[in-house]
Every structure is written in C-alpha cells, then in structure tokens.
Structure 1
Amino acid sequence: MVTVAGGRFAPGHLGELTRIVPFEMVDAVLAETGSVQRRVRALPSRVVVYLLLAAGLFAELGYGQVWRRLAAGLEGLAVASPTGAALAQARRRIGAAPLRALFELLAGPAACTATRGVYWRGLLVCAIDGTTMACPDTPANLAVLRKGGGHHGGTGYPLVRLLVLVGCGTRTLIDAVFGPTSSGETTYATGLLRSLRAGMIVLADRNFASQKLINAIAGTGADVLVRVKNGRKLPVCARYGDGSYLSRLGELKVRVVACEITIATSAGSRTGVYRLVTTLTDPACPASQIIKLYHDRWEIETAYLEIKSTILGGRVLRARTPAGLDQEIYALLVTYQALRIAITDATIAQPGIDPDRGSFTIALAAARDQLILAAGVIADTVIADTVIDLVGTIGRHVLADLLPDRRLRTNPRVVKRAISKFVAKGDRIRGPSYKATIGIHICPPADP
C-alpha cells in the first residue's frame, strides 16, 4: 500500500529520500521564508519544493516529465495534471529562499567519530575546491554571467562558479557558495569560513595557497594543509627530525614538507616534487602521514564528478534566469546531500566499511525507483519492540553491491572525452589505468 500525504499534497514527496527531507522540514523552511501559499492551490508550495528536488534525480527530463514520475505511484488518487506554464509559475512563486534554507539545514559531514575514513588523528578531514557549471545561453543569464574561455574558442555557455566545503570521508557537503566566474575561487572561499571551526583540517590545492586565505582559515580554529608552488620562498625557522621544517606565513607558524613522489607502473615510472604547508606543527605528527593525508583532497573531485557527471550527465542546467539558477543549484545540492546521507546511514553501522565504498550510482538509481513507486515516503509505525529501519531500500541496494576497497591505480593524463570526434585519435586518447606503487622521499631544506 502506498502511503503519502493527503489530498493535493500527495505528489509532494521524494520517495524514500523523504525520510531525510521530511514534510515537517519543508514546511518549516517555507514558513521561515514566507513562501507558504495563501490558499491551498493545485500546486501547494510543499509539492513544488519536492518537484524541484525530484528534478535533481532526473536531470535529463523536463519538469513536466519529472511531475509524471512523482505521480506515477499514486494510482487511484486524484492528482493534478499541471501544464508546463503552471509548473513554471509555481517555481517562480516560491523562489530560491526555501531551497537555500533547506540546504543549510541538511549541510554537514553526516558522520560520527566512529566512522572509518572520516577523521584523522581526531580531526574531521575536509576539502575546499571549486568548479564551474554551464547554464542556458539566454540574455537574462548573460546579463549576470559570462562564458568561459579556452583553447577551442570558449565553452559557448555562461558559467556559474561553485565552491564547496566537503567532508572527505563521506563526500557530504558542509557548505557551498556560488556565483559569476568574474570572481575567483579564493574570493568565494572566504564565504566558506563561516563553517570552519576547531577540530577540522582543511585540504586545498595550490590555487588556495594565498597567505591571506591560509591565515583566515587558521583564524577560525581549523587546521589547514595546502600545496604550494615549489619555488615559493618559505624561510627555515627550525628543522624537524623527519626532514620537514618550521616556517612562517606572516605571523602564522606553519610546517613545510617537501617531498619527491614516485609512481611506478608496468609502463614505467614518474617522479614529481611537491611542497605542502600545514598548521600541524606538532613534531609528534610524522611528515610521512601528512603527505599521505593530502591525497584525501581528491575526494572533493569525486564529489564534483557525482554531481556533474553522474547526476547531470554533463548537461547544462535548466534555468534560463539567474533567479531560477539560484533555485535549481540549491535544489541540486539538497538532492545530492540527501543521497550522500542515505549512503552514510547505510554504511555507518557496518564495522570496517568506509562510506566511500557506497556506490553513488546505485544509490541514485534506487532513489529514482523509490520515487516512481512512491515507496517509503512515510515510515511504518513503530510497534512495541520493532526496530526502526534506518538503512531502507536505498541502503540495502548500496550494501548489496559495495565498491571494492580503494585500489592503488594510476591513469596517464590523456583526453577521456574529446571535444570533437575528429581529433579523438592517437595514443593520448582514453589511456588505460595501471596498478601502481608509490614511493615517498622527504627532501630536507638545503643548509643556508
């Protein structure tokens, strides 16, 4: 039996993910932002919010097709059949504010201290990085956004810059900011400082290695680990026994670790020189562990892959106006976060299972199926000693087909998706991956 909300609210659901984004939460953000309808319409505001979230599960479909999937499992119920114009008007009516408030409620690392792979030496491992998302080439969007450049004449689409703070162990979103690409990543990064605190360590690439930003991150109480350019002048104030040394960025004491990393495969080997700067100045923390920790920064790249490739499939966003883009991006981030929470809930109670072994693709497919069936929208009533099912159907699908433990493999830097099929030729296209071994050699600073 399908159990959903009553009357005109019935199509307002997210399948089993409704347990993570429940009716009460949606109603609360609508009330907080003054977006509740004055009278119960054919498309109540709560229903419109769930429509926007469901669109994140079906990025390849228009809103009319998404609506049909919301109503597909409601056979026997009187469900509205809105036109495309009615859906567009309803989306404009509620605006972006409820979706932003919803994201702020759900944002966070979604894990406990016992979760494997989430904490390192008692610190919550996080990463900051940016990406761009393409949107429709309309006059309204072009009035605020600009097209990207490149060696092939640009992207052809206006771009939105998105910056997120990710919990590396679960790939959940702790915070996010976005806007025009006229502002750079380090400018947007200051908008994420509000979510940093003591007990975190933030990983970042060379683009974020400005003295001002590193000092700002340290000022929140969080630790930082960032790669810097090899030629950057960092004075030697004191030496550690493991080859790293103490230095300063302005008034901030930092530890510098320079190393050579060699990746060896059956096809040969390659050595690169890396310099890392961190506020972890305790000599009890070995430099070799700091180097290995920095590799976790790549988890944020996987999070962007899940959003831009797995969910969006490389497509541009739908919205044709800047206000619509704000609404759509926040809805997309909420949907992504709900999926990541579902994966974490499934793996968190499994001893020895790292949350990153939960397949995002499987979770997305299961969530789509549950939405079409309108299944798991309202949890069954708990009776006597009945155990509440926190895993759910989505979680069981994830646990039934866990990804293998992360294997050490490498892939040459080649074109994996050529812009034109006419240049997709040669040895530098879609190269194979290789089993690899990594060698790390710490390079002490030269004597003065």
Structure 2
Amino acid sequence: MGEVVGGSAEVAGTRLTDRIGVGVVTRLINRDLVDEVLAETGRVEQRSRLLPARVVVYYVLGLCLFFGESYEEVMRLLVDGLRFLGTWRKAWKIPTTGAITQARQRLGAEPLRELFERVAVPCAQRGTQGAWLGSRRLMAIDGFILDVPDTENNDRAFGRSVGVKNPAPFPQVRVVGLGECGTHAIVAARLGPWRINERVFAERLIADFEQDMLVIADREFYSYRLWEAAADSGADLLWRMPAGPNLPVVRALPDGSYESFLLDPRVRGRRATQRHRGSANIEEPSGIPVRVIEYEVTNREGKGEIFCLITTIMDPDAVSAAELAAAYEQRWEFESSLAEIKTHQRGRGGVLRSKSPQMIEQEIWAFLLVHYAIRHLMCEAAEQADIDPDRLSFMRSLRVIRRRVTDQAGFSPSASSRCPEDDTR
C-alpha cells in the first residue's frame, strides 16, 4: 500500500506524480529528456511539491491536448485512471486552479521552448510520399496570429491590430514557423508581438535551414535582404515574388524558365538618380543570380493570375520549371498544419487561456510540441502502411490520442507502442 509523501501518493514505491504523463505524446517527450531540460534550465525543485516541475510540464501539454477543458478537469483526466486502480491508500489531492497557476509560473516558458527545439526535427524518411523533390526536403515558412486574453500585461507585451472601424478585440501573438510540407511537422518557430513583421521572425528562422532543404515561401516574405541571408544558409529556396519588380531576362532556358538577377534596392535607387542626372557613369547591371519561373493559374474567382517564382536552383536539367511549380503548391500543406493548431487543437475562434505574457509563451510552445508529437506519430503510421501522410486525418488522430491518454491513465507507453494506421485515417 502507498502513503502520501511530500503531497504525492506512492504506488508500489513510486510516487503517483512520477507516473503522470500524456500517453502517446510522452513517447517523444520522455521523462529522462524532461528531467534533463529541467536541470539545464534551472527548474529542478529544492523540495518536494504537490506539483513537481516534471508533472507541470506534462500537465501544460495536457492543457493543449484538451484545450476546451478547465485546469482541474485536465488534471483529473491525467490521474483518474490511476485512481480507479485503487493501488494506493490515500488519494492524491487534485490541486486547485490557483496552485496549478503558481506551478506554471514557477516553471516558466523556457523548458517548453527548449523541449520543442530538442524534439522537433524533420521526420520524413527518404521514402515518405510527398516530402521530397529529388534529394531536397520540401519545407516552407509561414505565419499565423493567435488571440490571447485581454489583460493589461498581454496588451502591453503583444499589442493588437487596430483598425479605424474594427479594432481587434484581443491582444495578438504572431507565430512564424518552418515546417515539413510532406508531414505537416513544424520543426522550428519564432513568436512575438503581432506588430513585428513576419519577415523579422523569418530571418531568425534561417539558423534552422539545412543544406538538404528546399525552403518555399509566399510573396509576403520576399525582401532582397531576407533572400540574400536565406540563400547564404546553403539551403535551396523557392519563393514567390510580389507584384512590382520586373526581373530582366539574362538568358532564356529550354524549359521556359530564365536566368535573371535581384538588384539591391539601394543600388536601384542610386542608378535611378544617375539616370535622372544624366550621368554617363551608370554602373553595369549586377546582383544576386536567380532563376525565374512564370506561369498562369486560375484563381478562386475564375480569373487568370500570374505566378512569378524565383529559385536558387539554376540548372533546369537538375529540376525543371514544371517540377518547381508543382513543388511550390506543396506550400499549402504547411498552411494546413497551421490551421490544425488554430482550428482543431485550439478550437475555432478560441482564445489562449494564459493571463500573462510568460504563460502565453509557455502555452504556445506546448501547443507546438503537442502538434509535432501528433504529426510524428501520424508519419510513423503512414510509413508502416506505405501511404502518403496526407491520407491520414489529423482530427481523428487527435481524438485517438485523447482517448488513449485517459484509457491508459496517463502512463507513458513503451517505445513499442503504436497508433494503428486504421485509427488515424
């Protein structure tokens, strides 16, 4: 029989709080990793508590797995199965909302951010369908906005979009992520006030680019400086150009694309001044070499729209214009993964629950961790079934994982546990 030690019930010599987890999610975010991160971030307690730091980490993940539930109900979902077993003498007391809030504040955001950065890596294998263009891993950058509670601290830290007629009802956080198109797994992210342009966060993501990646971006991300910095990372790029810049044709290529160059805006302005003054010493054209692919698509209104893509892949024999145009369409897969967080995990129109900026950051990193764990599991299921991960339903997978958390009483499953492919379709 167990006894209460330091506020925790013991089960066969092991504290109940040592056994609380979030089911299949803990296959990736295991106890040893959590303890290591807590030690490195200085969150290991000096005394035993009702809510040890490790439990709080898993609890915060549970909040994002069961987003619509209250603080105390999420804790009940994690421990009720253990209570049903009746293997300890004294029941573990469900902490109050105030105690849970204080425990979250002690934990802070850093451990969740560090866990995400450790765990979230590209998970597509070489045979994963829809994840590659030849030897290049298809990746994309994109951003989204999350509404947070209307508190003075949140408003001061994050701000809100202010329109003359329709100001935003809540403060807002901007999140920009780098994601794997074939698996929808977000592998890096930056977040901050909504008023900071998403290109600023995209520039901070360049450190996560790898040489085997083809990074795709929509026209809102283009700037000369950002392209220059991203190209220097060694990853290949495929970005849509905004309307405006006319790219000169240096050499037409047999697949319909052409070689061109990007001109530094400061140089362009200097040349315009020289022409205006009639200078005879106008510099020769120079800039960053790019390859341009132009094609027309029919938009939702049934009208033709010209797409202008630029890439660092200069050889049409290596990748054709048609292949690059098809690859650009995979960017929509990453947009879908952002919608999974906003619509399915959080709930349509939902507002995050945290009342302070530090807790908002903690909550967002937890959301990203849970999403990655679900997508990683789906990728494994797709590999076993030899199908495209796109054929599996994120919403159904989320329901399966929620059921297993409660069915397994929050026990961390063994590494051999699997989510059957039939469950996730």
TM-score (norm. length: structure 2):
0.86
Amino acid at match of 1:223: D
* C-alpha separation in 1, matches of 2:256 and 2:12: 62
Q: What is the CA-CA distance between 1:167 and the residue it aligns to?
A: 0.5
Q: Counterpart of 2:275? A: none
8 A Cα contact 1:238 1:247, kept in partner: yes
* C-alpha separation in 1, matches of 2:309 and 2:170: 36
Q: What is the CA-CA distance between 1:164 and the residue it aligns to?
A: 0.2
* C-alpha separation in 1, matches of 2:389 and 2:29: 20
1:283 paired with 2:302, answer no
Q: What is the CA-CA distance between 1:350 and the residue it aligns to?
A: 2.4
* C-alpha separation in 1, matches of 2:180 and 2:195: 27
* C-alpha separation in 2, matches of 1:5 and 1:400: 35
Q: Counterpart of 1:35? A: 43
Q: Counterpart of 1:364? A: 398
User: Pick from 320, 324, 327: which aligns with 1:293?
Assistant: 327
Q: Counterpart of 1:260? A: 296
1:193 paired with 2:220, answer no
Q: Counterpart of 2:15? A: 7
Q: What is the CA-CA distance between 1:290 and the residue it aligns to?
A: 1.0
Q: Counterpart of 1:384? A: none
Q: Counterpart of 1:64? A: 72
Q: What is the CA-CA distance between 1:399 and the residue it aligns to?
A: 2.9
* C-alpha separation in 2, matches of 1:130 and 1:372: 33
8 A Cα contact 2:400 2:423, kept in partner: no
CA, structure 1 residues 400+57, in 2 after alignment: closer, same or farther (shift >3 Å)? closer
Q: What is the CA-CA distance between 1:186 and the residue it aligns to?
A: 0.6
Q: Is there any run of 5+ residues in structure 1 with no aligned partner, and where?
A: 381-387, 403-448
Q: Is there any run of 5+ residues in structure 2 with no aligned partner, and where?
A: 1-10, 264-286
CA, structure 1 residues 350+152, in 2 after alignment: closer, same or farther (shift >3 Å)? farther
Q: Counterpart of 1:341? A: 376
Amino acid at match of 2:35: D
Amino acid at match of 2:139: C
* C-alpha separation in 2, matches of 1:175 and 1:70: 28
8 A Cα contact 2:144 2:338, kept in partner: yes
8 A Cα contact 2:80 2:409, kept in partner: no
Aligned residues: 385
Q: SS of the counterpart of 1:80?
A: coil
User: Pick from 282, 298, 305: which aligns with 1:272?
Assistant: 305
1:24 paired with 2:32, answer yes
Q: What is the CA-CA distance between 1:111 and the residue it aligns to?
A: 2.0
Percent identity for Structure 1 against Structure 2: 37
8 A Cα contact 2:293 2:321, kept in partner: yes
CA, structure 1 residues 193+6, in 2 after alignment: closer, same or farther (shift >3 Å)? same
Q: Counterpart of 1:327? A: 362
Q: Counterpart of 2:282? A: none
Q: What is the CA-CA distance between 1:10 and the residue it aligns to?
A: 4.3
Q: SS of the counterpart of 1:255?
A: strand
Q: SS of the counterpart of 2:95?
A: coil
8 A Cα contact 2:394 2:424, kept in partner: no
Amino acid at match of 1:302: S
* C-alpha separation in 2, matches of 1:400 and 1:53: 22
User: Pick from 98, 101, 105: which aligns with 2:111?
Assistant: 98
Q: Counterpart of 1:226? A: 239
* C-alpha separation in 2, matches of 1:146 and 1:160: 8
For residues 278-297 of structure 1, give each alpha carbon's deviation from its aligned partner in whole angstroms, at most 9, with x where no partner exists: 11111212211111111000
CA, structure 1 residues 205+239, in 2 after alignment: closer, same or farther (shift >3 Å)? same
1:146 paired with 2:159, answer yes
* C-alpha separation in 1, matches of 2:413 and 2:20: 15
Q: What is the CA-CA distance between 1:11 and the residue it aligns to?
A: 5.5
Q: Counterpart of 1:132? A: 145
8 A Cα contact 1:206 1:229, kept in partner: yes
Q: SS of the counterpart of 1:66?
A: helix
* C-alpha separation in 1, matches of 2:391 and 2:328: 19
Amino acid at match of 1:38: Q
User: Pick from 141, 149, 161: which aligns with 2:174?
Assistant: 161
8 A Cα contact 1:131 1:304, kept in partner: yes
Q: What is the CA-CA distance between 1:241 and the residue it aligns to?
A: 1.4
For residues 14-66 of structure 1, give each alpha carbon's deviation from its aligned partner in whole angstroms, at most 9, with x where no partner exists: 01222121111111111111101112211111111100000011111221111
8 A Cα contact 1:4 1:10, kept in partner: no
8 A Cα contact 1:96 1:327, kept in partner: yes
TM-score (norm. length: structure 1):
0.82
Amino acid at match of 1:370: R
* C-alpha separation in 2, matches of 1:196 and 1:169: 16
Q: Counterpart of 1:207? A: 220
Amino acid at match of 2:72: G
For residues 99-149 of structure 1, give each alpha carbon's deviation from its aligned partner in whole angstroms, at most 9, with x where no partner exists: 111101111111221211111111010000111100000011111121223
8 A Cα contact 2:105 2:359, kept in partner: yes
* C-alpha separation in 1, matches of 2:346 and 2:250: 49
1:184 paired with 2:197, answer yes
8 A Cα contact 1:29 1:98, kept in partner: yes
8 A Cα contact 1:236 1:246, kept in partner: yes
Matches within 5 A, 1:348-387: 348-351=383-386, 353-374=387-408, 377-379=411-413
CA, structure 1 residues 5+21, in 2 after alignment: closer, same or farther (shift >3 Å)? farther
CA, structure 1 residues 321+379, in 2 after alignment: closer, same or farther (shift >3 Å)? closer
CA, structure 1 residues 288+244, in 2 after alignment: closer, same or farther (shift >3 Å)? same
Higher normalized helix content (fraction of residues)? 2
Q: SS of the counterpart of 1:90?
A: helix
* C-alpha separation in 2, matches of 1:9 and 1:188: 38
Amino acid at match of 1:17: V
Q: SS of the counterpart of 1:72?
A: helix
Structure with higher Rg: it is 2
